[in-house]
A and B are shown apart, each in its own frame.
Chain A
């Protein structure tokens, strides 16, 4: 984009929400935008009933575009240039913009004249600007289906020239619909689940189970890096790392091979529920998808789910692996997800995990050891780490 844009105009389109909800929506969107753009401290924000305006100083519009297009709750946005209300200046600015588009394309000029003392009326301005562009480029006019349109808003002092509408990410502003606690592993699925949750306006906090030394610092760092990649959609993300080693070792000692994963998942759910309830998360979420592994059969899900009393959201539950992979590629988490590090599910990888676990059997096995105190120990051993979408540049770079 070659022009001297000074304002970004953010549209949230037709909202179904009204009244206070709408106000909350807009406030939250502004907050999320500020979070996403926090590395640009000189931007200033102005919120109106149907738009948010962001004033630029000398920021790079391409960088901003990249970031804003990932913020949920925006239907579209445009860059605006402010020029003097003088026909020659307006014509020149519009021509520059038209020249920045690959020729030949079709276009349309739409003028709104608030300053009725301006010598030309709206139609006159349209014609003057369009004929200048027709003369100096290979673009053609198409008033019905233009490839791009130029909007001119003439006010007394200044005129605003607005570029093409850039589509936003849609959805709801992340956080507007409350907070969920997502079980984040290092795999392909859970980051995609995070994306889907955020898209529906949910703020995502993550819980990760680490089993050092069976899992390495690198494996934990990979999870934090994944969290950082998906936190572009909500600015930052809190990742709660639970030290799971002692509990996990006890499980394997007490319940044996086939039920180990089932019991382990039940423990993970119990810990997640306790953390969620203590930290205003209204639900827990997972990246589970029916039938993908032994613990994701309907029978397994059922006996794992029965130990808690909080909604469990599974955004990927009916997606195919390939669909999930494609989404992971779209949100740039795939390459990182497939790096081979041990995680707490693979490290003790049982040979014959049960696919149809029985509830009675689970309770019976859990009688064998004092998991309650081990869970309490886990709850005391949670490391809270906040990751941001883009770490500050290292000093040596």
Chain B
């Protein structure tokens, strides 16, 4: 393994913020009691966790009891889809998109396969964006839920969530869920007219195994994990109290630094694009609808896996597609949905940058990329 390891995979996960880590370790040493216990130590932990919940709610402009702690965005997504679907078996239609994360797609597929639901998968245009018109056409009387991601995890494109939310809220009886895993802390989120939203900590310098599902009060829900009264009876199991506590600090730091980080990442992105543009044969799968944090490109002569291996050898950590699908051998479903060829969708590389990256790292990457193309790019 080369000594220099340069990380361009921040959409996969991030390093833990030192302040979050410090607080976590301190709390972990002493705060081991069960938050449901009635003695002082338990009540103290419950009180601190509720403080954290309130702080999160405050940061997002929602009520305290609209924040449910979960173990991952995948869990939040599964709970949003199935937890809502199970409350009314007379409305068996769900709308989502072709480019969602596997946790959404597989939850929907399961509802279809096991429970006979009907799923409409909205297409995206060449930029990877969902159209409001397609949604309007797909909405039905028996549509129970609409689930659309805010920012796509592979190509970073932003969907017109505000317009969609407004339409779903005013023109239908469906609930609206938004997967905000890739948008929170990067671009502003607005929960107006949104019924459910998923947010993960580890994408914003927080802990793994830590996420929330935002569920507005009026939304009915059945639990998927049965247990005690934790999380308003919607997610059983002893609360991972300390982890939940530091979610608040994680989110606060991410939101406080959002604008500064965005500007810096934008400048890195522009620099990166300039350099990549000079290399013949590079085609961009990201576009003007993408957030600057993600650059997705294809160099068709070199398949994703080979490019990743070659970059890994030289000390660069990148993904090809969603990390959750990295073991799959199929071409990216997102790029396919955007109308790209198999070849292009099988040779994509996703660079995801953050405020921790530098111009020097980009230069080093460009040098190595040119070398790889020369060696293996017949």
Contacts and interface: CB of A to CB of B under 8 A. Distances in A.
A212 B310 contact: yes
B309 A214 contact: yes
B329 A212 contact: no
A190 B241 CA distance: 50
A215 B313 CA distance: 11
B230 interface: no
Contacts of A212: 309-310, 313
A217 interface: yes
A19 interface: no
B329 A213 contact: no
Contacts of B312: 213, 216-217
Contacts of A6: none
A2 interface: no
A342 B313 contact: no
Contacts, number: 26
B329 A216 contact: no
Interface string A203-219: 00000000011111100
A215 B309 CA distance: 7
Nearest to A252: B378
A76 to B, nearest CB: 45
A381 to B, nearest CB: 14
A213 B305 CA distance: 8
Interface residues of B, number: 12
Contacts of B313: 212-213, 217
Contacts of B310: 212-213
A335 to B, nearest CB: 16
B365 to A, nearest CB: 15
A392 to B, nearest CB: 19
B376 interface: yes
B307 interface: yes
A340 interface: yes
Contacts of A215: 309
B306 interface: yes
Interface in B279-317: 305-313
A63 B358 CA distance: 52
B329 A214 contact: no
Contacts of B329: 340
A216 B307 CA distance: 10
A242 to B, nearest CB: 16
A213 B373 CA distance: 12
A215 to B, nearest CB: 7
A340 B305 CA distance: 13
Contacts of A213: 306-313, 372, 376
A342 B309 CA distance: 12
Contacts of B372: 213
Contacts of A217: 309, 312-313
A139 to B, nearest CB: 49
Contacts of B309: 212-217
A216 B309 CA distance: 5
A200 B308 CA distance: 42
Contacts of A340: 329
Contacts of A214: 306, 309, 376
A217 B305 CA distance: 11
A187 B308 CA distance: 23
A215 B303 CA distance: 12
A383 to B, nearest CB: 13
A340 B312 CA distance: 19
Contacts of B307: 213
A217 B309 CA distance: 7
B325 to A, nearest CB: 14
Interface string A335-355: 000001010000000000000
B31 to A, nearest CB: 22
A340 B308 CA distance: 17
Q: Which of B306, B311, B329, B376 has the most CB of A within 10 A?
A: B306
Nearest to B309: A213
B6 to A, nearest CB: 16
Contacts of B311: 213
Q: Which of A213, A214, A215, A216 has the most CB of B within 10 A?
A: A213
A38 B309 CA distance: 36
A214 B310 CA distance: 8
A381 B138 CA distance: 60
Nearest to A218: B309
Contacts of B306: 213-214
A227 B329 CA distance: 26
Contacts of B308: 213, 216
A50 B305 CA distance: 56
B2 to A, nearest CB: 12
A217 B313 CA distance: 8
10 contacts: A212-B309, A213-B306, A213-B307, A213-B311, A214-B306, A215-B309, A216-B305, A216-B309, A216-B312, A342-B305
Interface of B: 305-313, 329, 372, 376
Given A213-B307, A213-B372, 6 more contacts: A212-B310, A213-B310, A213-B311, A214-B306, A217-B309, A217-B312
